[in-house]
């Protein structure tokens, strides 16, 4: 019996009847031989962890654009926090941790530079719209590894596609990640907002604090415990905790996510993305070879969206400067 087969036997014997067994996966788009060590979902996790798009997340905005400080979240640290919370929930419910972690690590691979500001801009400009969760699937199916993609299992891709809104994922593991994403960002955004000086802990709604607790750790513990106590054939919080969570979410939108101090640079970011998009659609030859081929196969709009959405914040600024900002004249330029 191989290591993989032993792991799958343990899954059968120990996981919940509602868990996704790796041996029952609907498989990959391109069939691939197993390696005898890792289950299909563990291989998905590893493929995501080692891909270029995952590494670029460390230089993509979460909420605060280019914050001056070492402790603000980036898209990468957010992803890791989502993964940790999701695995804790999955373990408590005896679901498949490998699948849960794979979905969590891959859920934001398609996020634009400059956070949701970049996403809104591309959604307004691209004729086919733009949703980061769908782009995340395109990254793992089409864009990674120079067009070969990561060839992930159906269940991992479905969880990534359904992690934000719309219909629920077909697995409980995918539904866990949807909750973990919300739990992570609402709590770390509070912490970052306090660090930035635009919010104080005592300004949080009293009714929410009374139910969820004061401080990041107590709030996360309350939400996770509520999910563990109320989930079964589906993933759900208890009514009281969910109402408090929902109210806290609305408060954050009013006070932080639309705060002028936190968002003062968003207009510039949106204009930068819009100008890049317009230029690249008109001049697809300015893109790298891989994206020029996408332009030939699927159109310049599609190629521009793929190229821009994969940029880090810094790369986008550099690309903008290279295209639109005049260089200082030097003698050797005229030779």
For residue 36 the two structure tokens come to 């005898």
Could you tell me which residue, 68 or 57, shows the higher pLDDT? 57
The SS3 assignment for 225 reads helix
Count CB-CB contacts under 10 A for residue 113: 28
Per-residue exposure over 259-288, b if at least 16 CB sit within 10 Å of its own CB, e if not: beebbeebeebbebbbebbebbbeebebbe
> What's CA 52's distance to the chain center, in Å?
14
- Confidence grade of residue 166 (pLDDT, cut at 50, 70, 90): confident
Tens digit of each residue's pLDDT (9 = 90 or more) over 123-137: 999 999 999 999 999
For residue 298 the two structure tokens come to 């699927």
User: Which residue is listed with tokens 């699948």?
Assistant: 99
Tens digit of each residue's pLDDT (9 = 90 or more) over 183-211: 999 999 899 888 888 889 899 999 999 99
User: Do 40 and 153 contact (CB within 8 A), yes or no?
Assistant: yes
Looking at the predicted structure, is the pLDDT value of residue 333 above 70? no
> Domains in the chain and their CATH numbers?
3-257 (1.10.3210.10), 266-334 (no CATH)
Tens digit of each residue's pLDDT (9 = 90 or more) over 221-248: 999 999 999 999 999 999 999 999 999 9
Report the helix count and the strand count for the chain, using DSSP H and E.
16, 0
Q: In this predicted structure, what is the pLDDT of residue 331? A: 55
- Confidence grade of residue 329 (pLDDT, cut at 50, 70, 90): low
Q: In this predicted structure, what is the pLDDT of residue 65? A: 58
The SS3 assignment for 96 reads coil
Element spanning 284, H or E:
none
Task: Write the CB contacts of 19 (distance below 8 Å, at least 6 apart in sequence).
Answer: 11, 93, 94, 95, 96, 172, 173
> Mean pLDDT over all residues of the chain?
93
Query: Is the alpha carbon torsion for 132, 138, 140, 143 positive or negative?
Result: negative
Distance CA 204, CA 47 (A): 40
Distance CA 103, CA 48 (A): 9
47 burial level (CB within 10 Å; 0-12, 13-18, 19+): buried
Backbone angles phi, psi at 153, to 5 degrees: -70, 160
Category of 27 on φ-ψ map: left (φ > 0), alpha (ψ -120 to 50) or beta: left
């Amino acid at each position: 019996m191989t290591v993989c087969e032993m792991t799958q036997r343990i899954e059968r014997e120990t996981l919940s009847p509602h868990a996704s067994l790796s041996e029952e996966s609907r498989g990959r788009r391109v069939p691939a031989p197993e390696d005898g060590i890792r289950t299909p979902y563990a291989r998905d996790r590893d493929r995501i962890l080692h891909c270029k798009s995952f590494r670029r997340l460390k230089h993509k905005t979460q909420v605060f654009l280019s914050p001056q400080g070492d402790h603000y979240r980036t898209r990468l640290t957010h992803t890791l926090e989502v993964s940790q919370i999701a695995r804790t929930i999955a373990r408590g419910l005896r679901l498949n941790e490998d699948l849960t972690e794979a979905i969590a690590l891959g859920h934001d691979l398609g996020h634009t530079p400059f956070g949701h500001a970049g996403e809104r801009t591309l959604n307004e400009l691209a004729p086919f719209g733009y949703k980061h969760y769908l782009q995340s699937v395109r990254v793992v199916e089409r864009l990674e590894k120079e067009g070969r993609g990561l060839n992930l299992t159906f269940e991992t891709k479905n969880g990534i596609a359904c992690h934000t809104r719309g219909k629920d994922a077909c697995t409980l593991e995918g539904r866990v990640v949807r909750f973990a994403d919300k739990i992570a960002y609402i709590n770390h955004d509070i912490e970052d907002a306090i660090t930035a000086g635009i919010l104080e802990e005592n300004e949080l709604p009293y009714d929410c604090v009374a139910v969820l607790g004061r401080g990041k750790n107590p709030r996360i513990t309350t939400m996770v415990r509520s999910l563990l106590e109320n989930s079964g054939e589906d993933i759900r919080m208890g009514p009281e905790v969910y109402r408090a969570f929902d109210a806290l979410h609305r408060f954050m939108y009013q006070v932080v996510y639309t705060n002028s101090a936190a968002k003062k640079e968003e207009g510039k970011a949106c204009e930068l993305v819009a100008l890049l998009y317009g230029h690249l659609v008109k001049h697809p030859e300015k893109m790298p070879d891989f994206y020029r081929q996408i332009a030939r196969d699927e159109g310049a709009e599609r190629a521009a969206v793929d190229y821009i959405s994969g940029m880090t914040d810094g790369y986008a600024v550099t690309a903008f400067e290279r295209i639109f900002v005049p260089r200082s004249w030097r003698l050797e330029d005229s030779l």
